[in-house]
Amino acid sequence: MKFTAEQIAGILEGTVVGDPNIEVFKLSKIEEGTQGSLTFLSNLKYTPYIYKTEASITIVNADFEPDKPISTTLIKVEDAYEGFTKLLEYYDRIKSFKTGIEQPSYISQTVKVSESIYVGAFAYIGENVILGENVKIYPHSFIGDNVTIGDNSTIYPGAKIYSDCIIGQNCVINSGAIIGADGFGFAPTKDGGYTKIPQTGNVILEDYVDVGAGTTIDRATMGSTIIRTGVKLDNQIQIAHNVEIGKNTVIAAQSGVAGSTKIGEHCLIGGQVGVAGHLVIGDNVKVQAQSGIGRNVKNNEVLQGSPSFGYTDWNKSYVYFKNLPKLAKTINELEKKVDGNN
């Protein structure tokens, strides 16, 4: 698929400086640009590459003015990074545009669908499912009974959505993700065993939620596990039953949130973070990678460590942690001197 500089400028509402008819058909980093590729320059430390790049078109900020000759055609926009991102989204929509129902697949006669949906081969869609406009369900996906999926949401190959779950509009559920598996609920018995507690709730994803590959979100014991609007979950994350995650919170890979914990809005949680159950995490909280959260957290806290404590205090403490052998040696020498003087 080819685009001219003039077409790209039209999409981005930008201005062409150079050849408006030059075409591109691939993307590249600015330092790796070749003929026929499109790149961008937003970070000033990469400016020297714009004089060397062989990329046919480069998106730049509107105020960029080269101080040496360049061979690449420029498209000037207000924000080069934002413009390039917008273009990627546009390209992805075109590339992934599919409609129709492939065979073999199973769609219950009680499913409510629109003509704009796409269902890939070997997909299964159960009873009383409601699919919105432009929903895309890729091959080998499973959609259980009574599930609702909102407009423009995409379910990638092999994802599973168990019964009664609700997926909002413009959501993305990546391959291997499982939405609505049973929460981890077992009651101990007198003989030392465990009896399974039925998990009768569901999972609700509000709008614009992204769920990474291999991530699991468990259904509630009762009520709902709720992922609020704009939440972004990386790959291989575990969200337990009855958890609630606030709007626009981002969680990196391999993190886990135990049951019934409530996480606030606009939080940033690093990779391999563990959050214990039945906690309340405030808004705008930042948690550094590999931290362990075992207490309630107030708004705006920044945490690190396991068990975690204040990020600034952790950094100060680390200076002493790594010097403990030297400190111990110094103390031993001082003790010997004191003993010798006595």
Q: Which two tokens stand for residue 181?
A: 């598996």
- CA dist 14 → 20, 46, 176, 225, 254 (Å): 12, 21, 39, 43, 40
* Catalytic residue (one of 140, 241, 266, 278): 241
Distance CA 327, CA 325 (A): 5
Helices vs strands, H then E, count in the chain: 4, 39
Does the annotation count 241 as an active-site position?
yes
What's phi and psi for 75, nearest 5 deg?
Answer: -120, 115
Give 116-172 as a DSSP string.
T-EE-TT-EE-TT-EE-TT-EE-TT-EE-TT-EE-TT-EE-TT-EE-TT-EE-TT-E
Cis-peptide into 198, omega within 30 deg: no
Distance CA 155, CA 161 (A): 9
The pair of structure tokens assigned to 247 is 């709007």
> What DSSP character marks residue 197?
P
**How far apart, in whole angstroms, are the C-alpha atoms of residue 251 and residue 136?**
25
For residue 37, which of 21, 50, 24, 48 has the smallest C-alpha distance? 24
Q: From the CA atom positions of the chain, what is the Rg in Å?
A: 27
CA-to-CA dists, residue 80 to 25, 65, 232, angstroms = 19, 14, 23
Lookup: tokens for 47 = 């400016």
Catalytically active residues, by annotation = 241
